[in-house]
Amino acid sequence: MIRKFLPFVCIVLLLAACSKERRWSQEQREELRRELKEYRYYDYLSNMTDSEFDVFTIVVSDSLEKQYPDYAQLQNMPGASDTITMVVFTTIGYDLSADYKNMRYLYPYKNLVKEGTLPKGLSDEAVQSYYSCLADKVNANYPSMLQFLQDVMMGDTTQVNQFKQACAEQLGTIVATEIELTE
């Protein structure tokens, strides 16, 4: 009987030894996604629909789960919130560089109209052209998407405002500013 049982035990132990990766439970994933809602106030994330934000949180939690298969290790390590924040920024950076259409989350059309950069009533093609121009300028002038995000999140938007204005001019939609005439 031991001879029949011994190979089974060896196989189970071998599988256990090879399977170092501990996966998170569904409750742990949901807990992290609830924590990620605290990041919703970032401009990029606040302009997403609920379903888009849900997809974003799944991408972030999957990335963290791959890096930290043991959920308790992630939660208990010093600087866990910094690690989570870095993964959030990296994911935003990847989203922005992967698809220019995601620039609309950082600079929604309604906000561009409100600030006077673009006029109301542009066609979808014109808005898409604007975002494409803006993404091209960001990609050409920033060494990395992370540097761009850092500038935006820290409030250093001088260069970005120049890009926004240049792209509006390319569309022929520059909004005239009032100039006081003196005689």
38-86 tens-digit pLDDT: 988 887 888 888 888 888 898 999 999 999 999 999 989 898 889 998 9
pLDDT of amino acid 51: 85
- Residues 82 and 39 sit within 8 Å (Cβ to Cβ): no
pLDDT of amino acid 9: 40
107-141 tens-digit pLDDT: 888 889 999 999 999 888 888 889 889 888 888 88
Distances (CA, A) of 22 to 16, 67, 175: 10, 11, 56
- Residues 45 and 53 sit within 8 Å (Cβ to Cβ): yes
pLDDT of amino acid 36: 92
How far, in Å, CA of 72 to CA of 99, rounded? Answer: 34
Distances (CA, A) of 62 to 7, 26, 41: 35, 12, 21
How far, in Å, CA of 105 to CA of 103, rounded? Answer: 5
Domain ranges of the chain: 20-98, 107-175
> Over the Cα atoms of the chain, what is R_g?
24
